[in-house]
Structure 1
Amino acid sequence: MRVEPKGEQRTTELSVPNAKTARVDQLPNSEPSWFDQHSRTEQQPRRQPQQSERSQRPEPQRPEQTKRVDQLQAQAPARQEPPRSEQPRPVPPPRKEPRELPVTGYDEEPEDRLATDEPGGSRKPLVVVLSLLVVAALAGATVYAVNEFGGATAVETKPPAAPAVVQPLVKAVTAGGPAPSPAGVKQALAGPAGNSALGTLTGSVVDPASGAALWQQGDTTAATPASSLKILTAAAALLSLEKTDQLSTKVVQGAEPGTVVIVGGGDPTISGVPGRSVYPGAATLDDLVTQVKQKGQVTKVQFDLSRYAGEALGPQWESADIAGGSVAPIVPFMLDGGRVDQANVNGVRTGSPGQAAADAFAQRVGAPAASAGAAPQGAPVLGEIKSAPVEQLVDNMMQISDNVLTEAIAREIAIKTGNEPSFAGGVKAVRDVLTKNGFDLTGASFVDGSGLSASNKIPAKLLTDVLTAAAKPALDDPRTAKLRPLLSALPVAGGSGTLAGRYGGTAAQGKGWVRAKTGTLTGVNALAGVVVDVDGRVLVFSFMSASNRNPETEVRPALDVMAAALRGCGCS
């Protein structure tokens, strides 16, 4: 260290023994600290600063003669230590001093070094400052969090609002509602049933909860049901077939190498073009093709239609109905119900659906046009696809009133009951199943399952009997559980299927409340289904009209008004 005395006092340099050194803070109080002195150039040799130090600071002026600390200490009276106080002493602020003050005879003193900006100097002040900043930041974040999330406003809890008053607009369907009376229903239907546009009208209305007949008009007289006959075929299917049954189409190995045989399994819903089908859940021809191609090269395709017997077109069916989109020849292998435009429900159908489907398969496997053939007994199966379950098929045939699908299902009922899979066999099977389940078919005479023939005749009471069994509120009748899906398969007034575009104008109050199967032939219109009245009571009805008036603008709207009148009936 170097210390410059005050005034003209001369100093000499003495050697300080290592055992007797004094720190700067032990200098006498009477002498001004050398911190307050100015430096001058020192003539004695000194430690050479490092190159980095030279570049960072100017060379201090050293005195010509210096006196060591122990000499100053000997001249000054002993320093009196102030009495220690119990309170901690405040830390004085650091002073700016020369960065290195060498004292001859001193070793390095890392703890007492005054230079804080030298490399290796003490970092404690910096650590303390950073610690204080971190604490301050945390304190600020805490205050913010308290104010934002836990402050006085967040603690305040408002009392819960009073429960909302629920006033349901739709009353639950229940048998406990006021029971309609025959007089009330008769009064409600008097005006609508008297509409001259309806021509000869037969029908009936029944309360399924009590089984009471509420309105009858020629209900036991046989009349042409048109497509409302599908109610009977659908009911027979639900009563005799497993709801999860599926129709299977297979391709088996032919008698010759490279030959395959398509075995029709009765599924008319196979989709020929992905994304263009009117049948939800339909299997695809592409799936069948992919399976077969994986088994090897195909050079010849045959198709086997032996699953069905009899004629492909029903009695009294007209060939014009094929071009009109109502029907196609009924064979056990076809695509999209024989439709030329797969997505058009009422579009033109082909007159040779089996050949067309087999040719489409042959083209996709890279073989020539297909030909009719028989599958060898026990031939290995090369591919198989399955239809949607029977319950879904029934739903679909009722919604879009599909004649081809209905006839296919009638044949499946025939096969299940041991009858011939033909028009006659299907009709017999439907009648047998319904009779076995307690339905009276007196006066009913029909020749197909779809209602396409004008020669079909059934009484309105038969339709309401089947619907009543499906709509009973309790399941004590074993038929009810099996027939319940029949109700959900019925189109919704103004909402779905063949009723989607109906129930406007004076029939609007029935929209959404009426579910019914339609029936349309030349001069014939029918409507049979269920309706929920304003008291939440389910009513079953069937109406059949024979009239030459305009069906689009007069007859069908008049039938819609009749069903809508039952909806508005508080007929107790």
Structure 2
Amino acid sequence: MVPPVFPAPDSAGPAPTSGIPTSPAPAGPSREQWPAVQEYAGAALGGPPTTGPTDRTAPAGPDRLGAGGSPDGPVSAPPDAAGPIAPAPRRRLPVVLAVVLLLVLAGVGVAVVRPGPVADWLGGAEDTRAEPAAPEPSPSAVLAGADPNAPEPTPDGVRAALDPLVRAAALGDRVNVSVADAVTGQSLFGRGADDGTVPASVTKLVTGVTVLAARGPGYRIPTRAVAGANPGEVVIVGGGDPTLAVDKNGFYPGAARLDDLARQVEQALGGAKPTKVIIDGSLYSGPGLEPGWDEDIPTGGYGSPITALMTDGARRDVPQAKRDHEAGNHAAVRVSEPDLTAGRAFARRLGLPNSAVSRGTAPIAGGDATAGAPGSELGKVESMPLMRLVDIMITDSDNIIAEALARQVALARDKPGSFVGAGAAMDEVAGELGLPADELSLADGSGLSRTNRISPSLLTDLITLAGNGSRPELAAIFGGLPVAAWSGTLGDRYETAGTEAGAGVVRAKTGTLSSVNAIAGLVTTKDGRLLTFAVLTDRVPGGSDPARVALDRIAATLASCGCR
């Protein structure tokens, strides 16, 4: 039988002979290097290296759930402090060592085989754009896997190595930890492992897995235009695509475009001139801002009201946002009414002024199929496949994409497209996947909410599940997972004393709010054993920088010790 596959990360340029960058990682390639649709499975982390095309290496920068500073204010009412370190391992999620399924996505877009192992993650070639939409593919079986015979750490060895580190003063008095073997699923270390903890942006791992399970990696979010109830009215119906662009100069390369939709409308109307644009955002309900968000979220550059119709992640100045992104700053001024901004941009493409735009709902299509009949479709554009949106969400810690994907989980489960509906749906899907849903409580999909709770053990279970081949569509979460000292929110970490051993061999999602620091992902030990880990702390007494270093020392210790 073949052991699990944990896909290798996005590659970013030629690999040094050691496989780990010997000089600081570049600030980040052009955003046009963000990958087209990818196949996730490829070679195992312990298998022979392969060569893959150039992929996105997101600019390095701090992670305030999307890069930036940390907001002020304490964590609201966290649970009691964690209990004692678990003295013995427990088996939480059995791993089936079976033939691994490789997602064959030729019909969805360009195939990109992820390279591995960790020491050979870095390689490059030219970027390729996604092909037009096609039906969602079916998986097919291939043989691929890691070497399951690498020495496995022992619970006693891991405990001896980590016990002093998890007690670091910089982490505060509530540090919850789970470490497990990625091949067997065996728990190797637990400290408050089952306790719900404020996860910050690590929440996005749950969002990614649940949307991939609920919608599938090839699903594309539609934006439609239909004829209104009255002559001359065009209704643009938001489907929840946060990456929708106005034209070719949008923020997200490869995104669907309003100018394309406008051309379709003009062609469908056959010369008849529209007189009014109506915005239908009724797919979403409830408040646009989650009550658990800090007050500065709408103005701080990391969030905006969540609407079913928006362009460029609600960024106000796309050219400036692109320049800032290239420089490593993911914050951007956001518009206060994303749906109206998008609707007005669409109207301009139809030759109409802003005054011709209003909110409303699309009429229900009747039996008249004539072009221009109320409710008849005049055009449709579709987002990039979900697997690419998940990729961007995780690498860039993109909060707007995260909230849009969370609502897709709700819609797939026939729940309201709201914060409440999304939280309930993600909890439901997590339970269906066999994850401990009683250790999960989500108020949003991005992790901006301080009322979210996730246990470390749920995260290590989730990562194991995503990589063990039993649900191959879930492996898409690994494509954008940042690499220590190389990409994403880990690009400028693992460079200080006591953390260097993690460079290139730790891949993880990070999370930061004031008083909250978290990290969860994968690490390869010096003996070649792949482990999953999650460390969440929500009573950080000082600034986030010392806490980040303390977290990185934990992961680096797992990388450097055999722990036997």
For the aligned pair, the TM-score class normalised by the smaller chain equals: 0.5 to 0.7
Distance across 2 between alignment mates of 1:508 and 1:274: 41
**Displacement, 1:293?**
3.2
- Residue-by-residue CA offset, 1:167-206 (whole Å, 9 max, x unaligned): x994994221011111222233244323211112111100
- Residue-by-residue CA offset, 1:264-293 (whole Å, 9 max, x unaligned): 11111112353341x342112222223223
**Displacement, 1:306?**
0.8
* Amino acid aligned to 1:367: L
**Displacement, 1:324?**
0.5
1:360 aligned onto 2:345: yes
Distance across 2 between alignment mates of 1:488 and 1:551: 30
Residue 433 of structure 2 corresponds to 437
**Displacement, 1:550?**
4.5
Q: Is the 8 A contact 1:335 1:357 kept in 2?
A: yes
Give the total of aligned pairs: 399
C-alpha spacing 1:170/1:500, structure 2 compared with 1 (3 Å): closer
1:220 aligned onto 2:194: yes
**Displacement, 1:537?**
1.0
Distance across 2 between alignment mates of 1:569 and 1:471: 23
SS in 2 for 1:321: coil
1:483 aligned onto 2:474: yes
Q: Is the 8 A contact 1:173 1:536 kept in 2?
A: no
Q: Is the 8 A contact 1:491 1:498 kept in 2?
A: yes
Equivalences for residues 123-522 of structure 1 within 5 A: 170=119, 173-199=146-172, 200-277=174-251, 279-294=252-267, 295=269, 296=271, 297-342=273-318, 343=322, 344=325, 345-369=330-354, 370-378=357-365, 379-472=375-468, 475=469, 478-479=470-471, 481-506=472-497, 507-522=499-514
CA RMSD in angstroms, aligned pairs only: 2.0
**Displacement, 1:493?**
1.5
**Displacement, 1:254?**
1.9
Distance across 2 between alignment mates of 1:380 and 1:540: 50
Q: Is the 8 A contact 2:216 2:386 kept in 1?
A: yes
C-alpha spacing 1:353/1:569, structure 2 compared with 1 (3 Å): same
User: Please, which runs of 5 or more residues in structure 2 have no aligned partner?
Assistant: 1-116, 121-144, 366-374
SS in 2 for 1:178: coil
Distance across 2 between alignment mates of 1:482 and 1:358: 34
Residue 524 of structure 1 corresponds to 516
**Displacement, 1:570?**
1.6
C-alpha spacing 1:219/1:376, structure 2 compared with 1 (3 Å): same
**Displacement, 1:469?**
1.6
Q: Is the 8 A contact 1:525 1:551 kept in 2?
A: no
Residue 99 of structure 2 corresponds to none
Q: Is the 8 A contact 1:326 1:403 kept in 2?
A: yes
- Residue-by-residue CA offset, 1:525-560 (whole Å, 9 max, x unaligned): 100000111111110000012344444431112111
Distance across 1 between alignment mates of 2:199 and 2:229: 48
**Displacement, 1:508?**
2.1
Residue 36 of structure 1 corresponds to none
* Amino acid aligned to 2:149: G
SS in 2 for 1:268: coil
Q: Is the 8 A contact 1:301 1:368 kept in 2?
A: no
Higher mean C-alpha deviation, range 442-451 or range 390-399: 442-451
- Residue-by-residue CA offset, 1:460-510 (whole Å, 9 max, x unaligned): 1111111122233xx3xx33x232222233222122222222221122221
- Residue-by-residue CA offset, 1:383-424 (whole Å, 9 max, x unaligned): 211100111111111111122211211211111112122111
Distance across 1 between alignment mates of 2:481 and 2:310: 26
SS in 2 for 1:420: coil
* Amino acid aligned to 1:393: L
Q: Is the 8 A contact 2:427 2:441 kept in 1?
A: no
C-alpha spacing 1:350/1:197, structure 2 compared with 1 (3 Å): same
**Displacement, 1:358?**
0.6
User: Please, which runs of 5 or more residues in structure 1 have no aligned partner?
Assistant: 1-167
Distance across 1 between alignment mates of 2:543 and 2:219: 38
Q: Is the 8 A contact 1:268 1:404 kept in 2?
A: yes
Distance across 2 between alignment mates of 1:449 and 1:547: 22
Distance across 2 between alignment mates of 1:534 and 1:275: 45
- Residue-by-residue CA offset, 1:301-343 (whole Å, 9 max, x unaligned): 1111111122211122244201101211111100011111333
C-alpha spacing 1:520/1:273, structure 2 compared with 1 (3 Å): farther
Q: Is the 8 A contact 2:201 2:512 kept in 1?
A: yes
* Amino acid aligned to 1:469: L
SS in 2 for 1:442: helix
SS in 2 for 1:565: helix
C-alpha spacing 1:270/1:528, structure 2 compared with 1 (3 Å): same
Structure (1 or 2) with the larger CA radius of gyration: 1
* Amino acid aligned to 1:240: A
- Residue-by-residue CA offset, 1:336-376 (whole Å, 9 max, x unaligned): 11111333431121110000111111122211211112212
Equivalences for residues 59-70 of structure 1 within 5 A: none
* Amino acid aligned to 1:303: I
Residue 3 of structure 2 corresponds to none
**Displacement, 1:245?**
0.8
Distance across 2 between alignment mates of 1:551 and 1:517: 19
Distance across 2 between alignment mates of 1:301 and 1:377: 17
Q: Percent identity?
A: 41
Distance across 2 between alignment mates of 1:169 and 1:403: 28
Higher mean C-alpha deviation, range 541-550 or range 170-179: 170-179
Choose the corresponding residue for 1:545, options 537, 545, 549.
537
* Amino acid aligned to 2:346: F
Distance across 2 between alignment mates of 1:347 and 1:502: 23
Distance across 1 between alignment mates of 2:436 and 2:206: 12
SS in 2 for 1:227: helix
**Displacement, 1:299?**
2.1
Normalising by structure 2, we get a TM-score of: 0.68
Q: Is the 8 A contact 1:315 1:448 kept in 2?
A: no
SS in 1 for 2:219: coil
C-alpha spacing 1:175/1:488, structure 2 compared with 1 (3 Å): farther
Q: Is the 8 A contact 2:246 2:346 kept in 1?
A: no
